[in-house]
Structure 1
Amino acid sequence: MSVSSFRVDVPAGSVLFHQGDPPTSAFLLESGSIEVTTAQGAESRRLGVLGPGDLLGEMAVLDDSPRTATARALSDCVLMPIDRKQFAERLESADPVVRALLLSQISRYRSALAQLSGQGEPVTAPLPTPRSGDAALALDKIRLESHLREALDKGELEVRLQPILDIARNRIAGFEALTRWTHPERGPVSPAEFIALAEETSLIVPVGDYVLDQVCGALQQLQGRDGAEPVFVALNVSGRQLGDAALLDRFLATLRAHGLQPAQLKIEITESLVLDYDQVAGIIARCHAAGIKVALDDFGTGYSNLGHLHRLEFDTLKMDQGFVRQMHEPRCLAIVRAVVAMAHSLGCNIVAEGVETQAQLQALGELGCKYAQGYLIGKPLPLDEAVALSRESGMGNRES
């Protein structure tokens, strides 16, 4: 049996685990077939045959009990190990009712298996079975999570930088870091999907650290440009990351390791996360003390509360692209003008997102908007292309 971090190759006839073994991990069967049996006295009784897409060994992992069955490969098999932590994180964060139902199902499973082995009382209620659609969705998420862990381990996540223009000076002042993932089988995976998946578990922490390290490596190449101002990178921070007390220390350590100044990093907090005003205010204060600026992302998309905005000392407001795209309408233009004026009064810069036309860029400049971001300025670029663009911009060679 061949074992790696992300797959187990089991030849036909081999035993994956024996009844009574301690639970090390569960497995997702990718290919092949496995027979599951249990001992009944001196006899062995088949419980079933599992095929691709089936889970096995998960019950013992969930309740930390010895294996109650033996799993033997009927053909050459490929399995994906799923460690206890992956289950524990999801079980801990599950709805209490869902958790209770799952524990009840485990109890019934144990009781039924004990009866089958002649060691327990009969079970009067049938075992509950999940709806096939729900089961398929859950297994797909588990599979994708394991693939994401493997992609992170192999450095297969791609970090791209979308340029941010200083409108008045017509130069690239910085970038926003965006993460892309091309799955070997599914192709490009939407960031909305895999970032949300990472946020459900502790994966978002190493993903965030990986992105920062990649970005700092690119920014390091920009150091030493004669007479050029250092560029900054804006990095979105999720709610789970904000709850990590060691986050800022790790960010500062990474910046120092690459010879960068704290001012070259801007942390972006999505507007929906600022509802916990005390937590966010504390994070902003710690960032300012360390020399890191903080931006409020997606401003104006539904969670705005002007009654509390004065309590949160953001350095930058990122105006949602929906406003920019409708600036041709007088009423929307009036809102944009008011937001820019409000930001100036609060001592904040404004980044207008979604800029796609020269007319939009010119109007924003006339209103006093500091920065612009969007396809007119540039699409998200590979790191080397972003470095080249920044160098050209720093020499005044940017084409409008």
Structure 2
Amino acid sequence: MTDDQYDYIKQYNHAAQIENTLRLSRYFLLSILIICLYIFCIYQIYFNTVNFYFNFWFIFTELFASFCWLISTAYFKPHQFDLKIAHRWLQFQCFSIGALISAGIFIIYYYLPSINPNFADIQALTLSALLLIVTQTFGLTYLTQKLNYFCLAFLPSIVPYLVSQFLFLDKSSHLFSLAINFALIVILLCATTSYRIHRRISTLYAKNSLLVKEAEQQVAWTDDLCKQLKNEINHSKDIELQLQLNNQLLEQKVKERTFDIEQMNKNLEDQQQNLQLAHEIAGLKPWDWNIKDRTISLSNNHKGTSQRDSKEHHYQLLHTVHPDDAEQFKNAMKQHLRGQNDRYESTYRVQNSLTGKWSWVHDIGRIIAWDPDSNKPLRMVGIRRDIQQERTSQERLKLAASVLKQAAEGIFILDEELRYLDVNPCYEQLTGFRHEQMIGKHLFDIAANYKSQQRSAHAEILKQVLQHQQYDGELQEKFLSGKELTLWLHINAVLDDQNRVAHYIGIVSDLTERKLQEQRLSYLENYDILTDLPNRFYYNYQLHQYLISQQDSLKQLAVIRLNIDRFRPLNEYLSNNGGDELLRQVAQRLRLTNAEALFLAHLNGDDFAIVYEISHIRPSVMEHCERIAKAFTLPFNILGQDHVITLSMGIALYPEHGRQLDYLNNCAEQALSEAKHLGGNTIRLYSNENTALLEQGIFLERELRKAIQSNELVVYYQPKINFRDKNIYGFEALVRWNHPEKGIIPPGLFIPLAEQTSLISDIGRIVIQQTAKQIKKWNQMGFNNICVSVNVVAQQLRRGQLLIDLDEAIKANEISGDSLELEITESSLIENSETVKKLLQEIKSRHINISLDDFGTGYSSLSYLADFPIDVLKIDRSFISKIGQNKHEAIVCAMVAMGKAMGLTVVAEGIETEQQLQYLRNLDCDIAQGYLFSKPLPEAEATVYLKQNIRPATYTYLI
């Protein structure tokens, strides 16, 4: 063996030992995990004693062995690692495992018997020996590829036993020591022997590898010999060339003899090419079926001739033929093969393998050879022709004929001299002439040309068609058949390949019915069907035209808006038919009394409008309106009954009150609204002051809506004081508008407007929600008996949302109903009293107190106190402020006495002086409220006031 071979074997052995040890060390680590778990379980089962060091050794050993297993598996993948790093890693791993085994033996053998009396020395010796023997056995199995790996794991693990023989001579058994020493020596000898065996096997593998390389070198030498042999062959070919030159003379003679045959073949080839060209032009593809040999030859114009097995061709053909045509194709072929038909002929669809589209083909064939003995067919030839273009053209022609016949518009075809070649049934129906009556005639020979206007129209059409080769326009035509129609005529020229006119195509649409419909729609769009007067749309359009196009001729005009007073109850009384009849008669009377007016319109319902020109030669607008009012003093007879109606009229003047359509209409509507508010049957002229007030209200309403969306509304709280112990009874929640620019806006400026819209309900909902949140905060601070009152208006009672708002606020803030009190005014109880009573009963069922607010200022009735579930009687500030006057003191005294007699809690609001406070205390009033104690406070200040004035004594509700 050479030195190179020896070095190669040495390196190979080193690499193989590391790779094999890395692979087998995973099993060694798994065995360590298993034996440690096994010993831990035995100790825990038989000696159920928890020990920190033993548990820590077990957990750390398991984790460290798992970590080593993961590193060996994930990082050191086969043939993807550095041998030096792997060698260092295996040394570290083996030594660490040996140290952990040594620590385990020390803990089991020395430490556990000392702390656990139940764990005897012999048991400790057994478990430690088990740990040592098993681990060394697995090490002997998996770590002997390289002896130093085994020693690094073996030597640390036997240290406890070796140390015990010298340190604990009195406790150790000499026989056991001799036995264990002998066993360890045997294990070490076995490891040495196993290592030598592994090294010898690895050496054999290395030598085999060298032999393989030598064999490969031998193969390379063989290739070189082959190349030399090829050169010899080439030399032999050169000799063959010499022989070929000698044979050329012989070949020349053969060529001369075959010249005539080649000429004949050339003629045949020319004829074959001509035939192929004819097939290609005609789209024919010949095929030849050798039935006996079961082969078929197919001709392709581009690829030549291909031959395939007939079964394969038949199978492929059946998969390309359309399923609807397959049965017909089979039957045609069978009939010819059985002699039932002289030739095979079939038309079917085949699928293109590339595009997947279907195309029609025509297949024709005939048997040309028969077996003389069995009379069976031997050979069959045929051609297949692609007829897809022909089928498409035929279908297009059929479709065009069908479209021409079924079209809902008249269609005709003219020749280059504008004479009829063909017409469709619709054109026959339009003209009143049959097909044969029109063919050959000129375009307008069927029309009546006795009027000059019609002749002129025909001449213009012919001129445009001849010059521009098209015409498109509307025509009023009368035919000789007697039909007179409004038509839309469209004519286009059809050019040939030389760009000459070959034909003309015309399309005729009947516009007669459309014109009538347009007239009907125009009437319906601009006039009211009921009164036959212009409607709102036409009124606005016409007034706009007066304003923009006739300003020079119209210096002044008036827009008068009229409305029938109390039309709704009268309409309900008369029913729909009677109401419609009344509107018709009112419209007729307005026509008669407004002959001088520019325009009269019925806008909608009982609203009418008049546009009147103001001029010195005409009566004034007020005189005109008074004349209308006088005319309406006469009764209207509706359904046999006489009814006298009155009108409310509002007037806006142009240009004094505005120059734009919308502004004039708005001014007239405002004047009409003012007349309605005055009780009707009156005439009002628009005033600019009304516009200022209206704009202010609209602006305030818009700002208030924005404030609700932007959470600008806040709640202030005014304290209520108990007369008896001067403790705080509760608060009244009062809404304020915290405007971002104007600051705090008092409720007197926006609550009246909110009560006219649905905004008051939204404001009430916000107050209830914020009040409930504040009550929750006070409850969390320890003030659990505070009662806060919230004002509720009639609209909230009627809209049906109040109970939902209360339930949501109570549930969301987890407060009691006893913490809330609703203040309701007397006016809220007037309308729909039964419904209100049921609603108040529902509120009472939620333990919410109900207070009658502003008592004495509205429609005071003692029945409210008796019929409705009222808990609190609140005397209005207007009475409290006049204490000192005998009559008013008597009223206050009576109110307090009445409330006490009915068992109600009496609240006096608006207290501002000590005199008022003392007088009410003498009357035994229950609750005091007013600026004498505090003004309404924001949330933070109300909380400070509550903390400063609350008394530690426990207080309860008065109700």
- Bigger share in helix: 2
Q: What's 2:611 paired with?
A: 126
User: Per the alignment, do residues 337 and 116 of structure 1 end up closer, same or farther by CA in structure 2, a change over 3 Å counting?
Assistant: closer
Deviation for aligned residue 1:172? 1.3
Query: In 2, Cα distance between the equivalents of 1:322 and 1:139?
Result: 33
User: Per the alignment, do residues 106 and 345 of structure 1 end up closer, same or farther by CA in structure 2, a change over 3 Å counting?
Assistant: farther
Q: What's 1:165 paired with?
A: 721
Q: What's 2:874 paired with?
A: 318
Query: In 1, Cα distance between the equivalents of 2:819 and 2:761?
Result: 21
Q: What's 1:332 paired with?
A: 888
Partner AA of 2:872 in structure 1: T
User: Per the alignment, do residues 140 and 106 of structure 1 end up closer, same or farther by CA in structure 2, a change over 3 Å counting?
Assistant: farther
- 214-223 vs 343-352, which moves further: 214-223
Partner AA of 1:148 in structure 2: L
Kept in 2, the 8 Å contact 1:221–1:387? The answer is no
Q: What's 1:288 paired with?
A: 844
SS at match of 1:164: strand
Kept in 1, the 8 Å contact 2:844–2:869? The answer is no
SS at match of 1:158: strand
1:313-392 paired onto structure 2 within 5 Å: 313-392=869-948
Sequence identity, in percent?
A: 35
User: Per the alignment, do residues 136 and 187 of structure 1 end up closer, same or farther by CA in structure 2, a change over 3 Å counting?
Assistant: farther
1:2-151 paired onto structure 2 within 5 Å: 108-113=539-544, 123=599, 125-126=610-611, 128=652, 129=664, 130=667, 131=686, 132-151=688-707
Query: In 2, Cα distance between the equivalents of 1:389 and 1:108?
Result: 65
Q: CA RMSD in A?
A: 2.6
Q: Work out whether 1:254 is the aligned partner of 2:809.
A: yes
User: Per the alignment, do residues 150 and 329 of structure 1 end up closer, same or farther by CA in structure 2, a change over 3 Å counting?
Assistant: same
SS at match of 1:141: helix
Q: Work out whether 1:234 is the aligned partner of 2:710.
A: no
Kept in 2, the 8 Å contact 1:218–1:384? The answer is no
* Bigger-Rg structure (1/2): 2
Partner AA of 1:123 in structure 2: F
Kept in 1, the 8 Å contact 2:794–2:827? The answer is no
Deviation for aligned residue 1:202? 1.7
Deviation for aligned residue 1:115? 7.7
Partner AA of 1:178 in structure 2: L
Deviation for aligned residue 1:301? 1.2
Deviation for aligned residue 1:167? 1.3
What are the Cα deviations for residues 104-126 of structure 1, in whole angstroms up to 9, with x where unaligned?
977732443478899xxx73532
- 139-148 vs 278-287, which moves further: 278-287
User: Per the alignment, do residues 327 and 140 of structure 1 end up closer, same or farther by CA in structure 2, a change over 3 Å counting?
Assistant: closer
Kept in 2, the 8 Å contact 1:269–1:297? The answer is yes
1:204-283 paired onto structure 2 within 5 Å: 204-226=760-782, 228-276=783-831, 277-283=833-839
Query: In 1, Cα distance between the equivalents of 2:539 and 2:740?
Result: 39
Deviation for aligned residue 1:224? 3.8
User: Per the alignment, do residues 347 and 107 of structure 1 end up closer, same or farther by CA in structure 2, a change over 3 Å counting?
Assistant: farther
Kept in 1, the 8 Å contact 2:880–2:908? The answer is yes
Q: What's 2:390 paired with?
A: none
SS at match of 2:799: coil
Kept in 2, the 8 Å contact 1:159–1:214? The answer is yes
Q: What's 2:853 paired with?
A: 297
Q: How many residue pairs get matched?
A: 290
Deviation for aligned residue 1:389? 1.4
Query: In 1, Cα distance between the equivalents of 2:911 and 2:841?
Result: 31
| Structure 2 residues not aligned, in runs of 5+ | 1-534, 550-597, 601-609, 613-651, 653-663, 668-685, 954-959
User: Per the alignment, do residues 308 and 238 of structure 1 end up closer, same or farther by CA in structure 2, a change over 3 Å counting?
Assistant: closer
Partner AA of 2:861 in structure 1: N
Deviation for aligned residue 1:381? 0.3
What are the Cα deviations for residues 304-344 of structure 1, in whole angstroms up to 9, with x where unaligned?
11244311221001101122222223443332222112112
Kept in 1, the 8 Å contact 2:881–2:911? The answer is yes
State TM-score, norm by structure 2. Answer: 0.29
What are the Cα deviations for residues 32-88 of structure 1, in whole angstroms up to 9, with x where unaligned?
xxxxxxxxxxxxxxxxxxxxxxxxxxxxxxxxxxxxxxxxxxxxxxxxxxxxxxxxx
Query: In 2, Cα distance between the equivalents of 1:328 and 1:179?
Result: 31
Partner AA of 2:801 in structure 1: A
What are the Cα deviations for residues 357-398 of structure 1, in whole angstroms up to 9, with x where unaligned?
22322221221111011001210000111122123332359x
Deviation for aligned residue 1:231? 0.8
Kept in 1, the 8 Å contact 2:794–2:829? The answer is no
Query: In 1, Cα distance between the equivalents of 2:745 and 2:548?
Result: 45
Query: In 2, Cα distance between the equivalents of 1:345 and 1:365?
Result: 17
Kept in 2, the 8 Å contact 1:162–1:381? The answer is yes
SS at match of 1:310: helix
Kept in 1, the 8 Å contact 2:720–2:732? The answer is yes
Kept in 2, the 8 Å contact 1:268–1:296? The answer is yes
Kept in 2, the 8 Å contact 1:161–1:382? The answer is yes
What are the Cα deviations for residues 144-163 of structure 1, in whole angstroms up to 9, with x where unaligned?
11111111111112211111
Kept in 1, the 8 Å contact 2:883–2:916? The answer is yes
Query: In 1, Cα distance between the equivalents of 2:536 and 2:721?
Result: 57
State TM-score, norm by structure 1. Answer: 0.66
Deviation for aligned residue 1:278? 2.4
Query: In 1, Cα distance between the equivalents of 2:690 and 2:762?
Result: 28
User: Per the alignment, do residues 298 and 367 of structure 1 end up closer, same or farther by CA in structure 2, a change over 3 Å counting?
Assistant: same
What are the Cα deviations for residues 162-218 of structure 1, in whole angstroms up to 9, with x where unaligned?
111111121111111111124455555441331122222222222111122222222
User: Per the alignment, do residues 219 and 324 of structure 1 end up closer, same or farther by CA in structure 2, a change over 3 Å counting?
Assistant: same
Query: In 2, Cα distance between the equivalents of 1:148 and 1:234?
Result: 24
Q: What's 2:754 paired with?
A: 198
SS at match of 1:328: coil
- 266-275 vs 123-132, which moves further: 123-132
SS at match of 1:126: strand
What are the Cα deviations for residues 261-290 of structure 1, in whole angstroms up to 9, with x where unaligned?
111111111122222332332222111111
Query: In 1, Cα distance between the equivalents of 2:892 and 2:697?
Result: 40
Query: In 1, Cα distance between the equivalents of 2:911 and 2:699?
Result: 37
Deviation for aligned residue 1:243? 0.9
Query: In 2, Cα distance between the equivalents of 1:331 and 1:169?
Result: 30
Kept in 1, the 8 Å contact 2:778–2:784? The answer is no
Kept in 1, the 8 Å contact 2:768–2:805? The answer is no
Partner AA of 2:794 in structure 1: G
Kept in 2, the 8 Å contact 1:151–1:157? The answer is yes
Q: What's 1:174 paired with?
A: 730
Q: What's 2:587 paired with?
A: none
Q: What's 1:67 paired with?
A: none
Q: What's 1:86 paired with?
A: none
Q: What's 2:285 paired with?
A: none
Q: What's 1:15 paired with?
A: none
Kept in 2, the 8 Å contact 1:293–1:315? The answer is yes
Kept in 1, the 8 Å contact 2:723–2:921? The answer is yes
Kept in 1, the 8 Å contact 2:856–2:876? The answer is yes
Query: In 1, Cα distance between the equivalents of 2:752 and 2:713?
Result: 15
Query: In 1, Cα distance between the equivalents of 2:547 and 2:871?
Result: 66
User: Per the alignment, do residues 331 and 136 of structure 1 end up closer, same or farther by CA in structure 2, a change over 3 Å counting?
Assistant: closer
User: Per the alignment, do residues 300 and 184 of structure 1 end up closer, same or farther by CA in structure 2, a change over 3 Å counting?
Assistant: same
